[in-house]
Structure 1
Amino acid sequence: MTDKSIIILSLVVFHGSFINGKTCRRQLVEEWHPQPSSYVVNWTLTENICMDFYRDCWILGVNTKIDTSGNQVVPQICPLQIQLGDILVISSEPSLQFPEINLMNVSETSFIDCVQNTTTEDQLLFGCRLKGMHTVNSKWLSVGTHYFITVMASGPSLCSLGLRLNVTVKQQFCQESLSSEICSGHGKCLSEVWSKIYSCHCQPPFSGKYCQEHDACSSKPCKNNGSCINKRGKWDKQGYECVCHPPFTGKNCSEIIGQCQPHICFHGNCSNITSNSFICECDERYSVTHMIDSEISCWSLGHYSFYFCHL
């Protein structure tokens, strides 16, 4: 475990607005880490028990997209979200090491109601009573949400007091192959609190599931109100196509259909580009603006003294 990052997770908490509960601190957006991390959860009633499912355990505000109308008061250890392949360690405090307690994998309903099925010993997380630090077997940490409750042979229900934990394990869909770069090197692999996966969030002008596509239209290469059509494909092999409005033509709609005629460019020089197109190169302090009676006008830029001419 020496080359893996260690995250000691009492799941840092602070006092919330509710006297009997804590408010869990968490990032609303997490970035995928390429190497597995280890999380240590303190199995105790004194540090990290939250009460209100949405407000304390998940810190969801009024602007959340999640429906919180069916709010639940379910005392529990602050919920945990980890990546597939991460390591989870349960650390019990000394006062909880004397009873014969263990952790059991249960359904969501049994988690809420603290119902333990004594006939399903194969759902016990550990082969012995919970004492000290125990690493959770990876078979309990597959992709999805898992519910663990405290079970004991006799005595009060520690689960009802809050000794239960739900763990969500997420996988990433940010690589085309195991050998390819995360998000093709053009974005970040992120997951929001209520997302079930990690996905690419691309940096402009890249797009696509893996940020593998380059949006050649992002730089607005089509002049004179031409429409840009992005040719989808690999980011290093694609281009764009401009759909020009008459009388403009050319790759970027910067050429004009026809041939140079005397005085066709006011305050500028006319240059033929092809046998059927030309451009106006304006004099200093003038810019091409629009056509009047089939003539291209270069209009004054006022106080500007530098060369500024475009179609």
Structure 2
Amino acid sequence: MTTKSAVHMVVCFLQLCIVKGQIICERQMVAEWQVEPKPIVVKWTPRENICSDFYTECWKMNKNTTREDKNLSVPQLCPLQLQLGDSLFISSEPSFQSYGMNLVNVSKEEFINCPKSGFLQEQLIFVCQIRGLHQVDPNWLGAGTHYFAELHKRGPALCKMGLRLNVTIKQQFCQQSPNAPLCSGHGRCLSHVWEKAYNCHCYPQYSGKFCQKFDMCSIKPCHNNASCTEKSEGTRDSYECTCPPKFSGRNCTEIVGQCQPHTCLSGNCSNVTPNSFLCECDKGFTAYMFIFSTG
């Protein structure tokens, strides 16, 4: 059997093994930041975990894309979204060892069209060909989206059959300082599948980039149908009540024309009508009484 025939048989065999018309990428649409980094292992083989439609198969969501995004709908390994600090391992089939296969860092266009020859040594992901389990150097896993594709010295070109992988590395912006709790302990550090980073999603009554602000109006401090406006006084959260007619005070609990604490400085206060009061002075003070009325 000639070398050409052997290569043709290998290609045909792998094509029969590729999953077609089946949604095989299990992904969560929203992920929560994990404090401890985690290892991820990707099987570098076209026999499994290959998706063709970038949205319905690779991400299990409805199509609502631009023309540019549709270009990503090519056979590929299930795309990854990792946290900054996670470790990535590539596991290859023993049968690939004889082909001198490696991974190469490519542009988005080269990812879509598959790489050609002529890549620089510094674009190779590994210093030697893939054999067994290899860890991807963290230098290749900086924040952003990276495109990796199969590059071979001999044997079948398997990129167009799915041996290409796009990896998005996300960092989190959920801490005011390195030692501060995520989202000030008042929210969750989350990222949607199409977002570029993790950000705080605050619990009710909290707001701000790090959920550091407590919404005083949420506890309804203003009474008697008064409106509440959140204010910020320096670093302390505050609020202001706008009182309806006949009510006053910080929380609109005081009735205009009614006795309040210290209304009569040296005497007793008595409510006469819903909007009038009477002061009766103590001994030693001017002995007279008066009525205050709001009309």
TM-score under structure 2 length normalisation: 0.78
2:100–2:153 CA contact under 8 A, matched in 1: yes
Distance 1:222 1:155 in 2: 76
SS in 2 for 1:111: helix
In structure 1, the partner of 2:194 is 194
Larger radius of gyration: 2
* One-letter code aligned to 2:58: C
| CA deviations over 1:66-86 (Å, ceiling 9, x no partner) | 547963430000000001111
Which structure carries more relative contact order (alpha carbon 8 Å, separation 6+)? 2
Correspondence list, 1:227-238, <5 A:
227-232=227-232, 237-238=236-237
| Higher deviation after alignment, 32-41 or 225-234 | 225-234
| CA deviations over 1:274-293 (Å, ceiling 9, x no partner) | 529x9x9xxxxxxxxxxx99
5+ residue gaps, structure 1, are: 1-17, 261-271, 281-291, 296-311
Measure how far apart 1:179 and its partner are: 1.1
1:213–1:232 CA contact under 8 A, matched in 2: no
In structure 2, the partner of 1:283 is none
SS in 2 for 1:148: strand
In structure 2, the partner of 1:155 is 155
In structure 1, the partner of 2:77 is 77
* One-letter code aligned to 2:228: C
Distance 2:243 2:89 in 1: 63
Correspondence list, 1:266-305, <5 A:
272-275=260-263
| CA deviations over 1:29-64 (Å, ceiling 9, x no partner) | 1000111111000111111000111110111126x6
| Higher deviation after alignment, 91-100 or 23-32 | 91-100
Measure how far apart 1:156 and its partner are: 2.5
In structure 2, the partner of 1:93 is 93
In structure 1, the partner of 2:40 is 39
* One-letter code aligned to 2:32: E
Distance 1:70 1:201 in 2: 27
User: In the alignment, does 2:37 pair up with 1:49?
Assistant: no
Cα 1:127–1:216 change in 2 (3 A) is same
In structure 2, the partner of 1:214 is 214
Measure how far apart 1:23 and its partner are: 3.0
| CA deviations over 1:116-156 (Å, ceiling 9, x no partner) | 34241210000100010000011110000000000012332
| Higher deviation after alignment, 251-260 or 41-50 | 251-260
* One-letter code aligned to 1:43: W
Cα 1:61–1:147 change in 2 (3 A) is same
Cα 1:100–1:233 change in 2 (3 A) is farther
Distance 1:137 1:233 in 2: 48
Looking at secondary structure, tell me which structure has more strand per residue: 1
- What RMSD over aligned residues (CA atoms) do the two structures have, in Å? 2.6
5+ residue gaps, structure 2, are: 1-18, 277-295
Looking at secondary structure, tell me which structure has more helix per residue: 2
Distance 2:39 2:145 in 1: 18
May I ask how many residue pairs the two structures share in their alignment?
252
| CA deviations over 1:146-199 (Å, ceiling 9, x no partner) | 000000123322100000100000000000110111110111100000000000
User: In the alignment, does 2:26 pair up with 1:25?
Assistant: yes
Cα 1:119–1:80 change in 2 (3 A) is closer
Distance 1:249 1:101 in 2: 79
In structure 2, the partner of 1:302 is none
Q: Percent identity?
A: 50
